[in-house]
Structure 1
Amino acid sequence: MVQGVHSSVSATLDLAGCLPEFEVGTARSLWATALPRLRSEVGADAYRAWIEPLRLVGLDNASVTFGAPNGYAVARLTTDYLHRLQARWSALDPVGRRVRLIVADADMIHANSSLVQEANDDDAELGLAGTSAEPVELSASAKTFANFEVGEANRVAVAIARGLAEGPGTGDLVFFHGLHGVGKTHLLEAIAGRLRETSPKKRVLLLTAQRFLNEFQSALRDRETGPFKAAVRGADILLIDDLQLICGKSATQDEFFQTLDDLISRGRTVVCTADVAVDGLQGLNSRMRCVLQGGFTAKINEPDFELRRAIARRKISELNARRSGFDLSEEAIDLIAARITGTGRAVEGAVKQVFAASTLIGREASMEVVIEALSGNWSPPEKSVPVETIKRRVAAFYDLSLEDLVSQRRHRAVARPRQVAMYFCKRLTRRSFPDIGQRFGGRDHTTVMHAVKRIEELAAEDVAFAAELQEIGRKITE
């Protein structure tokens, strides 16, 4: 069982009456303040999926307790987001309470249903410009130089990043590029975190290019671009992730070019990342291309075998710190490093799959478990499972009807279970992609192929989802 997960909430103090009302009100205010900052840190999708459903359900002198809707949510939050929740809460709470996560029952969720909605209403009024009058606060990020594994694939980029973090020069422009998952975002967060420690008076602004685009377009619609420009151009160090997302957006590129020109001319530092080199950025205008080519450029390559081993060890250590007792043998680490030849994130995903297979469902991390996890968790049974059985049990797991699975509805609550069912139909039967598609409302074979690929990707990235798949697989084959 994941630390902090409880089967009931009887031991948790309800907000009403546990402390003086002014402290309860303060806790609510702190949470309302923390939410928009958490959304900025983790991104809109992760925020909606994991942070937004949380409810403040308990408070005492030592801890603050948040309720999540189910055990899978608590597992995911504990593994990937608890450190952020704790860092953000600690930065605001003068008492320094510890953050606890539990599964909250329906009554408790209902009793506190207004809390996060109120916080979200406040958050809706806070854009980039609304928080930019003061230096941007950065949480004690988990992504630091200390936990970034260095090898031949990234040595030059890390050296440049460390140099920037220790003492940015005058008018530096740096461009990191590499495939998704090689560590570009990690380096940006490491730079930001280190600068926060060494130069607390500097204004450090870390944004995704998508956030820059959204905020700029919002300012244009409102005909109030002044606050936006002041916020971005007021930074001493501007860090922009995934620059390729504004390629082809002419107005946004023009604004970003002017921002670069303004900052660099005043001796400020700008660091950008993208998934391809400058020459490969499709839709990038000539002025932007020229400016970026004039800066420092470093490619981050995919890790070699030794670096993959180091990344695996690091992830094992991190998971062990959150869930004592999780470990892998050197033989198992070598197997992961040999089998997973992609990015560092893919290696981490493989370790998390093993973690899900062992820790979350109470199994030791033996070589058998590792091999099972790396092979996709299940092998096709000797006898093919009927497609209707798969559909029926997947539908039951997600509390849907069979009609929902074959319908044309695209809502995520239906689309994701449908993809899961297609995935198992391919893994546990000998049906072809076209045949499976026909059994799901006459869908094209490419839809089934996409579903299988998407579920495999999610299982590699999300430890809670991997555990969920394993449970569904057992229900189908039992």
Structure 2
Amino acid sequence: MALNKFAVSDASASGFDTSGADVISSVWRTVRARLRDELGGALYSQEIARLRVRLSESGAVIIVAPSTFNRDWVEDHAGARIRGIWAETDPALREIYLLAEGQEEPQPAVAPRAAKVEARETVAKPATTSAPAREEPRFTFDTFRVGPANEVAAAAARTMVSAPTPPFNPVFFYGDYGVGKTHLMHAVASAVEQNQPGRKALYLTAEEFLSGFVTAMKARDTIAFKEAIRNVDYLLIDDVHFIAGKPKTEDEFLHTIAALIAENKQVVLASHRPPAELPMGDERLRSLLTGGLSCPLSKPDLDLRRQILDCKIAQAKGHYPVLDVPESVRDFLAARITSSARELEGVLNNVICRTALLGLPVTMDAVTSALRDLSLSSEKRLTVDEIQKAVANHFGVTAADICSKRRTQSVVRPRHVAMYLSKTLTTRSLPDIGRRFGGRDHSTVIHAVNKVTSMIEAGDPLAQDVDALVRGLRGL
């Protein structure tokens, strides 16, 4: 596992004291609160709540996980998000390391409290490019299980890393959270580094691209940023929906990927929805994205969930050799956890903590107890994307319309209903819901919720639409 380093912009010139433990504690509370909203209470309690934070003598922020297993999960699933939130919240220049208990802090290449930094280094290497070799690599083609839900995307990924020139450009992976988009992108980066000496792959989240561009503009030094991004053979950017609706960033993003495509370099993108449904303000960007190959990834079926579970158990045995999960338990978990591979892995981690870590056997009682404590009911867990699509179909508009800036009554009413249902049927926070509706503010969501609530209480015919949508979304 690579120790990804992330420097946060300097604020020493402002006179604000950013060196104390109180600041670190305050920022960490903000980070944890955001992660709780975004990951949900179950995964938060299991993976994030156990982390501790401290400030090292060198001035770096050290986030300590109780085990290597926990550290690896957090780095893979939330590492970029932690660093992104920290960068938004902490005004000081810091390096951030995620370590396992007992692991020594790496020595920084340069003094982190040196002179004022003009531009922040934001182009982080993909974890797979600098990680030491491990017996059970997590995000590679070998550990990516293929089924009807992802076979097109998997085939496209393998093709692009073996072809001398890009067969499709750009390649766009899309699907709900936890279906394997990030895994597949890291697998591409890993395969390039291992099998194509001299060629460079760069994986970034959209937040890293966005924050890097904003910082470069503030420092009036966008040339270095552009060179760092464009001087690669494979550029992989995850969660590109976060770029939509930000005109200046959209423009830079358009020119970046257009330049790479013109130079016959491979561009790989991922989002929770297809490019045609992204609320892009720049139609040139939408046209460029839709002109490539769009590959869907959907929720895994029972057979694929069982394959994924077997793979995760094999990986876990590298940390816990005595781990033995009976076939009956595997079948039960694969049938019981239907939402995503990510949640399936989270439940497995919880089961391991209750059994293997304590030297106890994995039994059905331990599994049912873990499910009960995680509050996983059989009721379908809805996503904002599913709600947007259902509302769009019901009112005869598109999901892109709902997330657009249009203010006609034919769009505003469905948008308000979709926001209302997102607030009442999911655990997403108001700011998160706003971001998923074209980057709107949380106050807009509050207004929509209050508006729909008032109409329902007043006996407006809209109440019948809302009731029909709720029953349809819940499969009633």
TM-score, length basis structure 1: 0.57
Show CA shifts across 1:38-57 (max 9, x none).
Answer: 99xxxx989x996974979x
The equivalent of 1:257 in structure 2 is 254
Give the Cα–Cα distance (whole angstroms) in 1 for the partners of residues 318 and 332 of structure 2. 22
Distance 1:377 1:208, change over 3 A: closer
Give the Cα–Cα distance (whole angstroms) in 2 for the partners of residues 335 and 371 of structure 1. 10
Give the Cα–Cα distance (whole angstroms) in 1 for the partners of residues 121 and 109 of structure 2. 20
Distance 1:76 1:167, change over 3 A: same
Distance 1:154 1:38, change over 3 A: farther
Give the Cα–Cα distance (whole angstroms) in 2 for the partners of residues 318 and 222 of structure 1. 44
Show CA shifts across 1:231-268 (max 9, x none).
Answer: 11211111111100101110000001011111111111
The equivalent of 1:414 in structure 2 is none
Q: Structure 1 regions of 5+ residues with no counterpart?
A: 1-32, 57-67, 86-99, 380-445, 453-478
Secondary structure of the equivalent of 2:214?
helix
Q: Does 1:36 align with 2:5?
A: yes
Give the Cα–Cα distance (whole angstroms) in 1 for the partners of residues 370 and 185 of structure 2. 31
Give the Cα–Cα distance (whole angstroms) in 2 for the partners of residues 234 and 451 of structure 1. 37
Distance 1:341 1:51, change over 3 A: same
Q: Does 1:209 align with 2:206?
A: yes
2:264 maps to a residue whose letter is G
Secondary structure of the equivalent of 2:156?
helix
2:184 aligns with one of 173, 183, 187: 187
Is the Cα contact below 8 Å between 1:50 and 1:73 reproduced in 2? Answer: no
Secondary structure of the equivalent of 1:182?
coil
The aligned runs of 1:361-380 (5 Å cut-off) are 361-376=358-373
Q: CA deviation at 1:118?
A: 7.9
Distance 1:306 1:220, change over 3 A: same
2:337 aligns with one of 340, 343, 346: 340
Distance 1:335 1:122, change over 3 A: farther
1:147 maps to a residue whose letter is T
The equivalent of 1:77 in structure 2 is 71
Give the Cα–Cα distance (whole angstroms) in 2 for the partners of residues 78 and 225 of structure 1. 33
2:308 maps to a residue whose letter is I
Give the Cα–Cα distance (whole angstroms) in 1 for the partners of residues 102 and 186 of structure 2. 31
1:297 maps to a residue whose letter is S
Q: CA deviation at 1:312?
A: 0.9
Distance 1:225 1:332, change over 3 A: same
Quick check: which has more Rg, 1 or 2? 1
2:283 maps to a residue whose letter is S
Q: CA deviation at 1:172?
A: 2.4
The equivalent of 1:160 in structure 2 is 156
Distance 1:117 1:358, change over 3 A: farther
Distance 1:374 1:282, change over 3 A: same
2:312 aligns with one of 312, 315, 333: 315
1:163 maps to a residue whose letter is T
Q: Structure 2 regions of 5+ residues with no counterpart?
A: 9-30, 36-47, 80-98, 377-422, 430-476
Give the Cα–Cα distance (whole angstroms) in 2 for the partners of residues 145 and 163 of structure 1. 12
1:77 maps to a residue whose letter is R
2:192 maps to a residue whose letter is L
1:151 aligns with one of 147, 150, 160: 147
Structure with a larger share of its residues in helix:
1
The equivalent of 2:464 in structure 1 is none
2:271 aligns with one of 265, 269, 274: 274
CA RMSD of aligned residues (A): 4.3
The equivalent of 2:302 in structure 1 is 305
Number of aligned pairs?
A: 316
Give the Cα–Cα distance (whole angstroms) in 2 for the partners of residues 318 and 340 of structure 1. 19
The equivalent of 1:224 in structure 2 is 221
Distance 1:207 1:81, change over 3 A: closer
Is the Cα contact below 8 Å between 2:67 and 2:101 reproduced in 1? Answer: no
Overall identity of the aligned pairs, in %:
31
1:233 aligns with one of 225, 230, 233: 230
Give the Cα–Cα distance (whole angstroms) in 2 for the partners of residues 149 and 316 of structure 1. 13
Distance 1:280 1:122, change over 3 A: farther
Q: CA deviation at 1:152?
A: 0.9
1:287 maps to a residue whose letter is R
Distance 1:35 1:131, change over 3 A: closer
Is the Cα contact below 8 Å between 2:124 and 2:204 reproduced in 1? Answer: no
Give the Cα–Cα distance (whole angstroms) in 1 for the partners of residues 271 and 201 of structure 2. 19
TM-score, length basis structure 2: 0.57
2:352 aligns with one of 347, 352, 355: 355
Secondary structure of the equivalent of 2:5?
helix
